[in-house]
């Protein structure tokens, strides 16, 4: 063989040239086929944008090529067909299918609609990665028009063809079966077993009446919808659940009814599944009820001893004779008790948020004062860590806003407490400013702590999650505080987000609707918070709680009597007038609600005396369970809250213009 210089042969050079020529010819062939194809063709990028189009595609859609190249397929797809198209495309991109076909509508440039049959496949690179899509579009305009014209004359055959997987039954107006599809064998019958017999012969008698009424509606021109019935299995004799979709057949010439065609589906499995789901739902609701009861009991049982712990600790903290090491021990007890109460509150609040039972009650609220009070709560903790607490208020904030102050305070306590927990040096700043949204405010809690990276921010608001989650973590808590705060923000119609970076601190931002409002007159003039010389009956089966309430009330100048239960309270109230009653809800024998009911029904000096619910239950109020009571004093007792609520109840009980210490004198 003759070899050329360099060791190559003529054949070695001719082969690449032949391949190049062949590739060029194939490219030209593809180009001609693409351009002059009788159906629309398009190359579509992975982002949905058009890469290439042929003339047929432009004719079908009514757009010029240049205009289409500036659009994507979603822009010209009818909105009702887009989801199905995107679903198929996602499966194609994921490699679950090699291609797909569907009928859809394009919105032409002149806004008219055109039905097409779309076939899409994917072109992949040599390494298997997606490259682009190939779309072939066939104009179905004429086909759709022809199908519409033939609907009546070919209805019988089209129904059979389209629904061959289901049981097709055709019958006369009398109910006599004239045709049954072969799929009837799945019910234990053959077509010959049923043709010539009455359609309802194998139905459960009670269901046959409902089916007969449905077919009667068809004759009246009404839509019977779907009807369920039980039919006997021809092989086993067992009842099967079936679902009928009946249609009335008419003579193509006269339009008179000639019979029925019924598409029947075996839904036995579906019915069994529905029953199982219903049973599961009942069980789940029962479990939720048990959970709710457990949480209520847990709340009461934990809060009851906490009432004594926190209450008497508060008294000790205010006693000037408690000094030195004893005072330090008291502070530790107070801190531990407050921590335990916070954990209980977190679990219960999150449970209510999950159940959708968290009620929001907007009230006229002094926003700046609320923020200042929140910071005051943490002043001791901040001072102990050497941190600065600051409040910044910008112009444009309403002095009084319509917002749920209690829920806002709860969210801010979580946010400020969290900031102080993780900040070792610097400051925590609470910033109040108007929002870009009309009638809304932004409240920021910014710290100089360690900050959060992207991974930490992604799980920050998840329940039971803490960034410091190791066994040796330095900070306690349930991991619910931020989840609860976000839930509170959303329940109030707002949002909670965070801006942070590792090593650069964190800024939590509450955005809440807070339209301007006016305080009621009682709130403007101070409300008369004194309980001096007010006669209070404390009704509680727990002697420690009665003793604590007595100490707090007598220190404020009130006159206190006690009752250890509902029956004893009624005996005393029948004889001695008082100004207000603190009534425990959970008591053995006669509980607080029944005691109140009997008091209101029995004539006497205290028949109409204000009665405040005195309870450790966390989820009272808002669900009608305080009906008849004049207010609520919670346990553990917050002294200022208890005194103000008692003062308000007594004040509201005065006749117009009356003043003095005793309402029932």
**Separation between Cα atoms, residue 262 and residue 180, nearest integer Å:** 10
**Separation between Cα atoms, residue 284 and residue 280, nearest integer Å:** 6
Whether residue 536 is found in the same domain as residue 514 = no
Whether residue 604 is found in the same domain as residue 511 = no
CATH of the domain at 116: 3.30.450.20
**Separation between Cα atoms, residue 28 and residue 34, nearest integer Å:** 10
Q: Pick the last residue of a domain from 232, 266, 300.
A: 266
Whether residue 142 is found in the same domain as residue 217 = no
Q: Is residue 207 part of a domain?
A: yes
CA angle 543, 547, 550 (to 5 degrees): 135
User: What was the pLDDT predicted at 357?
Assistant: 58
Q: Is residue 337 part of a domain?
A: yes
Q: Is residue 26 part of a domain?
A: no
3-state secondary structure of 562: strand
Structural tokens at position 120: 């899409």
What is the edge-to-edge ordering of all strands in the sheet holding 580-584? 559-563, 535-539, 580-584, 611-615, 632-634
Whether residue 506 is found in the same domain as residue 427 = yes
Residue 239: CB atoms within 10 A of its CB come to 15
Are 263 and 168 contacting, i.e. CB atoms less than 8 angstroms apart?
A: yes
> What predicted TM-score, i.e. pTM, was given to this entire model?
0.43
State the DSSP code for 135.
Answer: E
Q: Is residue 9 part of a domain?
A: no
CATH of the domain at 288: 1.10.287
Largest CA distance in the chain: 134
Whether residue 253 is found in the same domain as residue 137 = no
Whether residue 489 is found in the same domain as residue 405 = yes
Q: Which residue stretches of the chain have pLDDT < 50?
A: 1-6, 161-162, 464, 467, 469-478, 522-528, 622-624, 654-665
Q: Pick the last residue of a domain from 454, 487, 518.
A: 518
Q: For 99-139, what is each residue's pLDDT tens digit?
A: 999 999 999 999 999 999 999 999 988 888 888 999 999 99
Residue 348: CB atoms within 10 A of its CB come to 21
Whether residue 466 is found in the same domain as residue 482 = yes
Whether residue 42 is found in the same domain as residue 142 = yes
CATH of the domain at 603: 3.40.50.2300
**Separation between Cα atoms, residue 496 and residue 482, nearest integer Å:** 9
Are 467 and 460 contacting, i.e. CB atoms less than 8 angstroms apart?
A: yes
**Separation between Cα atoms, residue 591 and residue 607, nearest integer Å:** 18
Q: How many domains are there within the chain?
A: 5
Whether residue 534 is found in the same domain as residue 502 = no
Structural tokens at position 265: 């589906």
Whether residue 551 is found in the same domain as residue 572 = yes
Domain of residue 333 covers 278-352
Q: Is residue 20 part of a domain?
A: no
Whether residue 447 is found in the same domain as residue 587 = no
Q: Is residue 51 part of a domain?
A: yes
Whether residue 346 is found in the same domain as residue 375 = no
**Separation between Cα atoms, residue 66 and residue 399, nearest integer Å:** 59
For residue 190, CA distances in Å to 168, 242, 262 come to 13, 17, 17
User: What was the pLDDT predicted at 207?
Assistant: 86
User: What was the pLDDT predicted at 295?
Assistant: 66
Interstrand relation of 559-563 and 535-539 (parallel, antiparallel or unpaired) = parallel
Q: For 242-262, what is each residue's pLDDT tens digit?
A: 888 888 888 877 888 988 888
User: What was the pLDDT predicted at 655?
Assistant: 41
For residue 443, CA distances in Å to 378, 387, 490, 501 come to 17, 20, 14, 20
> How far is the first Cα of the chain from the last one, in angstroms, to the nearest whole number?
134
Are 567 and 539 contacting, i.e. CB atoms less than 8 angstroms apart?
A: no
Q: Is residue 659 part of a domain?
A: no
Q: Pick the last residue of a domain from 518, 543, 573.
A: 518
One DSSP character per residue, 315-328 reads HHHT-TT--HHHHH
Dihedral sign of CA atoms 394, 395, 400, 404 in order: negative
In 249-394, which residue ranges form alpha helices assigned H by DSSP? 268-317, 324-355, 367-377, 379-385
CATH of the domain at 512: 3.30.565.10
Q: Is residue 662 part of a domain?
A: no
In 249-267, which residue ranges form alpha helices assigned H by DSSP? none
């Amino acid at each position: 063989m003759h070899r050329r210089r360099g060791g190559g042969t003529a054949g070695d050079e001719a082969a690449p040239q032949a391949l190049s020529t062949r590739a060029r010819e194939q490219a030209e062939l593809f180009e001609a086929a693409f351009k002059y194809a009788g159906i629309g063709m398009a190359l579509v990028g992975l982002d949905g944008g058009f890469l290439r189009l042929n003339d047929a595609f432009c004719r079908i859609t009514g757009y010029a090529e240049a205009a289409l190249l500036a659009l994507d397929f979603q822009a010209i797809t009818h909105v009702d067909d887009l989801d199905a198209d995107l679903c198929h495309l996602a499966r194609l991109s994921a490699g679950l299918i090699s291609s797909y076909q569907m009928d859809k509508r394009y919105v032409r440039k002149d806004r008219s609609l055109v039905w097409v049959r779309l076939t899409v496949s994917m072109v992949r690179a040599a390494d298997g990665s997606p490259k682009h899509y190939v779309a072939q579009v066939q104009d179905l305009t004429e086909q759709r028009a022809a199908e519409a014209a033939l609907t009546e004359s070919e209805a019988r055959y089209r129904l059979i063809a389209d629904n061959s997987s289901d049981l097709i039954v055709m019958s006369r107006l009398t109910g006599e079966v004239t045709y049954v599809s072969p799929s009837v064998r799945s019910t234990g019958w053959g077509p010959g077993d049923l043709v010539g017999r009455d359609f309802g012969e194998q139905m459960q008698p009670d269901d046959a009446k409902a089916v007969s009424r449905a077919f009667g509606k068809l004759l009246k021109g009404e839509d019977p919808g779907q009807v369920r019935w039980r039919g006997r299995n021809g092989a086993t004799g067992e009842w099967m659940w079936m679902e009928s979709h009946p249609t009335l057949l008419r003579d193509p010439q006269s339009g008179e009814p000639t019979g029925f065609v019924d598409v029947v589906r075996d839904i036995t499995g579906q019915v069994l599944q529905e029953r199982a789901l219903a049973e599961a739902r009942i069980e789940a609701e029962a479990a939720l009820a048990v959970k709710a009861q457990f949480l209520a009991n847990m709340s009461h049982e934990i809060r009851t001893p906490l009432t004594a712990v926190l209450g008497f600790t508060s008294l000790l903290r205010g006693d000037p004779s408690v000094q030195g090491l004893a005072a330090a021990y008291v502070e530790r007890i107070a801190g531990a008790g407050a921590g335990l109460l916070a954990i209980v509150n977190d679990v219960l609040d999150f449970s209510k948020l999950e159940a959708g039972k968290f009620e929001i009650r907007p009230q006229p609220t002094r926003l700046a004062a609320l923020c200042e009070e929140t910071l005051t709560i943490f002043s001791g903790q901040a001072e102990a860590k050497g941190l600065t607490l600051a409040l910044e208020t910008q112009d444009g904030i309403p002095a009084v806003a319509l917002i749920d102050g209690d829920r806002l305070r709860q969210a801010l306590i979580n946010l400020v407490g969290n900031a102080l927990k993780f900040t070792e040096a610097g400051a925590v700043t609470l910033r109040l400013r108007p929002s870009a949204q009309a009638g809304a405010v932004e409240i920021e809690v910014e710290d100089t702590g360690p900050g959060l990276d992207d991974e930490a921010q992604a799980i920050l608001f998840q329940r039971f999650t803490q960034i410091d989650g190791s066994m040796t973590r330095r900070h306690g808590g349930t991991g619910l505080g931020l989840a609860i705060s976000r839930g509170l923000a959303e329940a109030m119609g707002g949002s909670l987000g965070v801006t942070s970076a590792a090593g650069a601190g964190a800024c939590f931002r509450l955005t809440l609707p807070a339209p301007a409002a006016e305080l009621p007159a009682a709130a403007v003039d101070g409300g008369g918070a004194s309980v001096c010389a007010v006669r209070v009956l404390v009704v509680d089966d727990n002697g420690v709680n009665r003793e604590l309430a007595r100490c707090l009330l007598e220190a404020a100048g009130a006159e206190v009597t006690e009752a250890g239960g509902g029956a004893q309270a009624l005996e005393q109230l029948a004889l001695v007038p008082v100004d207000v009653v603190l009534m425990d809800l959970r008591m053995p024998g006669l509980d607080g609600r029944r005691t109140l009911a009997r008091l209101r029904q029995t004539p006497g000096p205290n028949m109409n005396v204000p009665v405040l619910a005195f309870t450790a239950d966390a989820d009272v109020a808002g669900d009608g369970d305080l009906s008849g009571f004049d207010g609520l004093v919670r346990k553990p007792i917050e002294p200022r809250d208890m005194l103000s609520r008692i003062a308000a109840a007594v004040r509201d009980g005065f006749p117009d213009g009356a003043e003095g210490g005793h309402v029932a004198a």
